[in-house]
Every structure is written in C-alpha cells, then in structure tokens.
Amino acid sequence: MPSQSSSFPTPPSVRPADGRLGVLCVGLGAVSTTLIAGVELIRRGMAEPVGSLTQLGTVRLGRRDEGRTPLIKDLVPLADLDDVVFGAWDVYPDDAYVSAVNAGVLDVQRHLEPIADALRAIRPMRAAFDPTYVTRLEGTHTKGPIGRRAMLDALRDDIRAFREEHGCDRLVMIWCGSTEIFIDLGPAHSDLDAFEAAIDADDAAISPSMLYAYAALLEGVPFANGAPNLTVDAPALRELASRTGVPICGKDFKTGQTMVKTVLAPMFKTRMLGMEGWYSTNILGNRDGEVLDDPDSFKSKEHSKLGVLDTILQPDLYPSLYGDLHHVVRINYYPPRGDNKEGWDNIDFFGWLGYPMQLKVNFLCRDSILAAPLALDLVLLLDLAQRAGMGGIQEWLSFYFKSPQAAPGLYPEHDLFIQHTKLKNTLRWLAGEDQITHLGVEYYADDYLPEG
C-alpha cells in the first residue's frame, strides 16, 4: 500500500459496514420521500442513482498514468443500499406514499405505484414541534405541547424503539424538515450545562431541530442538517459531538442556485475579474416555498445563501475587484411551479480597464430531484465517518452544503471543486492512499535541467 505523507494523521481503521443501517429522516416531505422512493427503485434495479457520488463516483489513485480509478463504494466500505431501512417523523400523519403523491415530485404511475407497499409501510412518528418555529404549518401529528424535556425523552425513546424494531446495527439521522425561523445563538446554546438548564426551563431558545440533534447525539447517532436553521451549530451540541465521537455536518443542501454560484464565482475570482453585483431570484411552489414565504424562515435561508460570495471572492484581499459588491437573494412562493424551481441570476462584472459585462443564468431545476442524492450520500458518508471513529464536524462533507460547518476560527470552503477535492482526498486518506496535489512536475522530470 502506498505510504501516507507524514504530515497527515495516520488514517483510522474503518469498521466494516455489516448489518442494517437505519436512516431516520426528520420530516417526511418532498426531499425525504424522493430519497426513500429513489432508494427503493434503485435497489429493485428500476432506476439509476443519478446525482449520487457514493453510487456512481470514482476516485483517481496514484499517478495519472497508473489508470487506477475505483468506484468510491469499492474504495471505502459503505453501507449497501439493500441494508438501509428508513424511518421518519412528521407533523402530518401521511405515510410516505401519500406524502410523495402530495409532494408531486415523482410520477405516480411510473415511480410510486410499483413501490407503493414499501412506501405505505413508512408511517411517520409524531413530531417534536413548536409552531412558533415554523409558522406556516398546522400539523396535528405532534407530541403536543409537552415541554422540551419530555419531547427530548420521547425522541430518544423513538430512536431506541426504531433501532429495536428494525434490528438496526447503526443509525443516522438527517434533518429534511421545514426551515425553522432565524434565531441568533445565545447563552442557552453556549455549553451543555446551559443547554440542559434551558431544556428544563422549556426555554424557547431551544428549537425543535436542536432537540432532534441532541437526542441523536445522546443516542450515539450521527446527524446531518439539510436545512439552513442553526441546529448542530450550537456550541453545546458541536462540543458534545466532538467529545463523544459522533459525526455531525450541515447545513442546507447545496442543490440549485447556490451550487451554480459556487462554480461561477470561483471562475470570476480565478481570472481576477471584478464584480459590482449579483442578483439572484427564484420562484418555488412546494411546501418548502410556502414555509419560506414567512419572512423569519426566509431569513434563515437568506443567511445561508448570502455567506457564499464573500468567502469565495475575499473582498478584504481584493477591495478594488469585490469591495463594493451588491449581493441580493430572493425567493418567491409561486404555487403553479410546485417542486420545479426556476432561478434567475444576473451578474454584473467587469474586466480589463473596468469595462462592464453581464452574465445571466436561468436554471429550471427540480428541487428534490437534486436534493435526494445528496441526502443519500450524506447518510452513507456519515455512517462511514462513524465507523472510522471521526467525530464532530465533518468538514470534508462541505461539498453538500450551502453553509458548511467548519471548526471555530476556520472559514468554510465554498468553492464546489475545492470541496470535491477535499472530499476525495479524505476518501484517499481513509483508504490509506496518497493525497493528490495536482503538482504534476513528476511527469516532466526528464525535461528539467539538472540542478546547478
């Protein structure tokens, strides 16, 4: 096996992915049902896992002339899709079949009817819910206003019961629930004592998503946050995850407009082209769009979408190019489009001698079709991280997020291709393979003049 560079920690040994992996989805809406239905179709050989790096992606190993490019799933031990079993919570009692029909993402005859029995068998558990956190929902299938301590205990009971009932060897939890309203982190989130006291006091500063995440961590279950709400960003939860060796990652699936932005912005930056403004707007008609129509929920999304450009363009380093940038993001709820989001971007940039130019992007995407493979990869890679003993923030999974978590004091990496390299290098490291630096001089050694 090729040697690892001495500057990296020794790669951990990874436990095999034996037995069943339970995937607990918080929220059984458009993304979750598209994920579940997709996995069900794929394992029956009725569909291809398009969009999933873990299922289709390869990693180059060694030199470019060695021709070694195994599939990711052959390089590292990932759970087999046949070993995955899904569970969920939701504020509505609809099973996964009914919810998928309502979400309107997948064709009922082609993609839901053939797997209807499997979908109908997935009935959501009662949600831990506080309507002040998602004002546009009036769900009845909740644990009721029983207080945060009782909600936490009930969630822990749900996790244990699911593990037992489905014979799971390992579990992963993923937040695919609605976007909660924007909150600032405060004293209640600062450490575990304060967090515990706030739960006892039924303090409104503790959001339902934090209760799910806390329940997961206490049960040793890795947690991914697909929405922009601050959840495992709370220092109390982040530190608990590091201390107990449970992997966490977030936040906000990077699926549509932000994915495009984190590809285009590095292009302008790499060529030292300046920018005056970037205006992004969207129309979206699904339940997520309805929730985001509430200004407080939109504020969570806006925060997560806005951070991207500053980090990529570094206006502090390049004030003449990016020091006066106007970045605007809008989402408008427009029911006729359902889950088929349309996004427009207008970029006002300038080149040599300051001459202005424009780039326009019109992206007609399908929100949950883009999100489902990300959710699949995240649960499989979090499970891998746990079997490798990698606790706390999983920065190598930044690839999947609009607002990636990074260690305190570190700026997050937003450039999609740097994130991709980071992810693949982590897989190489886990597999005991050399890192790839793309230096390339090794191929031209004979062309260089001898030293001196």
The binder of ligand NAD chosen from 42, 81, 176, 216 (CB under 6 A):
176
Write out the H or E segment, with its range, that includes residue 30: helix 30-43
126 binds ligand NAD per the rule CB under 6 A: no
The binder of ligand NAD chosen from 195, 214, 253, 333 (CB under 6 A):
253
430 binds ligand NAD per the rule CB under 6 A: no
Nearer to ligand NAD, 27 or 77 (CB): 27
257 binds ligand NAD per the rule CB under 6 A: no
Using an 8 Å Cβ cutoff, are 393 and 375 in contact? no
The amino acid present at 180, given as its one-letter code, is: E
Nearer to ligand NAD, 286 or 405 (CB): 286
Any residues with CB less than 8 A from the CB of 80 and at least 6 apart, and which?
17
Q: Is 300 exposed, middle or buried (0-12, 13-18, 19+ CB in 10 A)?
A: buried
Q: How far is the CB of 29 from ligand NAD (least distance, A)?
A: 2
Q: Which of 211, 216, 207 is nearest to 24 (CA)?
A: 216
Q: How far is the CB of 415 from ligand NAD (least distance, A)?
A: 18
The binder of ligand NAD chosen from 59, 174, 216, 227 (CB under 6 A):
227
Angle (deg, nearest 10), helices 192-200 and 148-165: 100
The binder of ligand NAD chosen from 22, 77, 87, 177 (CB under 6 A):
177
29 binds ligand NAD per the rule CB under 6 A: yes
H-assigned helices in 62-207: 72-75, 96-103, 116-120, 148-165, 192-200
Identify which range of 15-23, 24-32, 351-359, 413-421 contacts ligand NAD by CB under 6 A: 24-32
Q: How far is the CB of 67 from ligand NAD (least distance, A)?
A: 36
Cα torsion angle, 69, 75, 78, 80, sign? positive
The binder of ligand NAD chosen from 61, 75, 91, 265 (CB under 6 A):
91
87 binds ligand NAD per the rule CB under 6 A: no
The binder of ligand NAD chosen from 137, 236, 309, 385 (CB under 6 A):
137
Judged by CB under 6 A, the chain residues 259 through 288 that form the site for ligand NAD are 286-288
Long-range contacts of 418-425 (CB under 8 A, 24+ apart): 418/266, 419/262, 422/395, 422/396, 422/398, 423/53, 423/396, 423/397, 423/398, 423/399, 424/59, 425/396
391 binds ligand NAD per the rule CB under 6 A: no
Q: How far is the CB of 434 from ligand NAD (least distance, A)?
A: 34
The amino acid present at 203, given as its one-letter code, is: D
Q: CA 356, CA 276: separation in Å to the nearest integer?
A: 9
> CA Rg, the chain, in Å?
22
Q: CA 250, CA 401: separation in Å to the nearest integer?
A: 6
Nearer to ligand NAD, 293 or 348 (CB): 293
Which residues of this chain interact with ligand NAD, rule CB under 6 A? 26-31, 89-92, 103, 127-129, 134, 137, 139, 176-179, 208, 226-227, 252-253, 255-256, 286-288, 291, 367-368, 370-371
